[in-house]
Structure 1
Amino acid sequence: MGHWLYRNIVEPGKLPLLLALAAFVLTFVVTRIITRLIRAGRGPFGNVKAGGLHIHHVVPGIILTVLGGFGAVASGRHGFGAAVFAIVFGVGAGLVLDEFALILHLDDVYWTEQGRKSVEVVVLTAALVGLVLSGFAPFGVNDLSQEELQDRGGVIATVAVNFVFALAVLSKGKTKTALFSVIVPLVGLIGLVRLARPGSPWARRFYRRRPRARARAVLRAYRHDRRWSGPSRRVQDWIGGKPDPGPGPELNRSR
């Protein structure tokens, strides 16, 4: 384990990425715990205000992200400074993406249905960074054996081909599948052979004169959303908290 960690994480300079990912996930978890306690009126926590203005945690998150990003660029991939700035960046990114929905809608939708976007983005970001972190990194590793060169070259070629597939999958309106297909080959192949989402560029281009294909795409999308929307919502509620009832954000101004 120690040899694998050194060869694939430390030597190629991916230790800052590992620290940033750990800080990112931990920050999101702690932030959600605190906001849920505030929402329930429990614990010593409360909203941060300055002169009656509610300071959302995306504000310090942006500051930490900027400091960590520029610091990481200046310090390089190795050394104590790189590790520190990676942690700072991870903490800032966790705070920012926890309120991604607020930035997207320019409104306080933290505890509304629209606020689910924050949880989706955080989970997707952590998964993608984890996949990149667990993959082989041939650059920066010294004294590679012939077998290691072949393995890592195969991974690079696979990722390159998958990237082309990912573009096609993305044109089918399957954003999440396209992102994961860059790393996981099977995901890209499955997304490539399945029907496109209605209204996607692929559907508009290739289903325009194929009414049966359009009808099948609409029916499949309906069945897929009906089957998976419930479990997906329950997982999101478990991770980030259940949204408040009501259509608008005006009832959700307080954490």
Structure 2
Amino acid sequence: MGDWWYRNILEPGKLPLLLALSAFVVTFAATRIITRMIRAGKGPFRNVTPGGLHVHHCVPGVILMTVGGFTAIGGGRTGWGAAAAAVLFGMGTGLVLDEFALILHLSDVYWTKEGTISIEVVIMTSALAALLLCGFLPLGVDGLTPDEEQNRLTAVGTVLFNLVLAIMALIKGKPRMAVLGVVVPLIALVAAVRLARPVSPWARRFYPGRPKARARTIKRAYHHDRRWSGLRRKVDYLIGGAPSP
């Protein structure tokens, strides 16, 4: 176990990433537990409202992210300073992304259906951090051989190609696959070659004159949403709590 810890975490300098991911997940989980207790009127916790102003927890989250981020940039990847900066940054990110929907809508949609987007963003962020921890690098440059890494043209071409795939996935209305595809190019490739979502910029630009393609994408989106939207909604509600009626 000690050997594995050194080879996979300490030697490549991944301990700060591990600490940041752990702090992020724990902070988010603790925040959701506390907010659900406040909503139910249980426990000692209450909203912070000095002078009648409701201070959302993304505010201390921004402060923690700022302190942790600048501390990490100013320091190295090892030592207690790097570890402390990673924990602060992870905690701050957990607080901020828990209220991602509020920042997006500039409105208190925490306990509404729109507020569940925060859960999806947190899940996606956790998945990306876990992939990075496992050794995946953005835009697929980790798949190059040592000889290819020495060839700058090949490396730049690989990065640009994977970036194009991720952008195509985004334009086709598949933001989750686009973000994950930045780390795992195969995901972006699948999203890029398949039909676009009906309301995506790609569909609006290329499908109006192709009624068969438009009919196929509408049908595929309908079946996909019917199969997965309910499950995704149940997971969001289980983690973050059901919206208010």
Range into which the TM-score falls when normalised by the shorter chain: 0.7 to 0.9
Taking structure 1 as reference, are residues 2 and 205 closer, same or farther at Cα in structure 2, changes over 3 Å only? farther
Q: Which residue of 2 aligns with 1:222?
A: 222
**Structure 1 residue 167: Cα displacement:** 2.2
Distance 1:197 1:20 in 2: 34
Which SS does the other structure have where 2:107 is aligned?
A: coil
Taking structure 1 as reference, are residues 152 and 34 closer, same or farther at Cα in structure 2, changes over 3 Å only? farther
Q: Which residue of 2 aligns with 1:44?
A: 44
Q: Is the 8 A contact 1:65 1:90 kept in 2?
A: yes
Report the residue type matching 2:228 in the other structure.
Answer: W
Taking structure 1 as reference, are residues 242 and 133 closer, same or farther at Cα in structure 2, changes over 3 Å only? same
Kindly tell me the number of residue pairs found equivalent between the two proteins.
233
Question: Which consecutive residues of structure 1, in runs of 5 or more, have no partner in the other structure?
Answer: 138-147, 246-255
Taking structure 1 as reference, are residues 214 and 238 closer, same or farther at Cα in structure 2, changes over 3 Å only? same
Distance 2:192 2:145 in 1: 29
Taking structure 1 as reference, are residues 181 and 159 closer, same or farther at Cα in structure 2, changes over 3 Å only? farther
Taking structure 1 as reference, are residues 225 and 136 closer, same or farther at Cα in structure 2, changes over 3 Å only? closer
Q: 1:123-182 deviations in whole A, cap 9, x for unaligned?
A: 111111111111157xxxxxxxxxx975996xx979735433222222211110112223
Which SS does the other structure have where 1:54 is aligned?
A: coil
Taking structure 1 as reference, are residues 55 and 5 closer, same or farther at Cα in structure 2, changes over 3 Å only? same
Question: Going by fraction, where is helix more abundant, 1 or 2?
Answer: 2
Taking structure 1 as reference, are residues 205 and 2 closer, same or farther at Cα in structure 2, changes over 3 Å only? farther
**Structure 1 residue 121: Cα displacement:** 0.8
Structure 2 length as normaliser, TM-score? 0.87
Distance 2:175 2:196 in 1: 11
Q: Is the 8 A contact 1:136 1:152 kept in 2?
A: no
Q: Which residue of 2 aligns with 1:21?
A: 21
Q: 1:17-40 deviations in whole A, cap 9, x for unaligned?
A: 110110000000000001111111
Q: Which residue of 1 aligns with 2:71?
A: 71
Q: Give the RMSD, CA atoms, in angstroms.
A: 2.4
Q: Is the 8 A contact 1:112 1:244 kept in 2?
A: yes
Distance 2:134 2:158 in 1: 13
Structure 1 length as normaliser, TM-score? 0.83
Distance 1:93 1:151 in 2: 38
Distance 2:171 2:216 in 1: 17
The correspondence of residues 51-62 of structure 1 with structure 2, limited to 5 A, is 51-62=51-62
Q: Which residue of 1 aligns with 2:119?
A: 119
Q: Is the 8 A contact 1:159 1:183 kept in 2?
A: no
Once the two structures are overlaid, the 10-residue window that deviates more, 177-186 or 78-87, is 177-186
Once the two structures are overlaid, the 10-residue window that deviates more, 176-185 or 27-36, is 176-185
Percentage identity across paired residues of the two chains: 62
Q: Does 1:83 align with 2:83?
A: yes
Q: Is the 8 A contact 2:27 2:94 kept in 1?
A: yes
Q: 1:92-125 deviations in whole A, cap 9, x for unaligned?
A: 1111111111111111111011110111111111
Q: Is the 8 A contact 1:162 1:183 kept in 2?
A: no
Q: 1:23-59 deviations in whole A, cap 9, x for unaligned?
A: 0000000000011111111111111110111111111
Taking structure 1 as reference, are residues 28 and 221 closer, same or farther at Cα in structure 2, changes over 3 Å only? same
Q: Does 1:132 align with 2:132?
A: yes
Q: Which residue of 2 aligns with 1:10?
A: 10
Distance 1:13 1:152 in 2: 24
Question: Which consecutive residues of structure 2, in runs of 5 or more, have no partner in the other structure?
Answer: 138-143
Once the two structures are overlaid, the 10-residue window that deviates more, 17-26 or 213-222, is 213-222
Which SS does the other structure have where 2:17 is aligned?
A: helix
Q: 1:37-90 deviations in whole A, cap 9, x for unaligned?
A: 111111111111101111111111111111111111111211110100110111
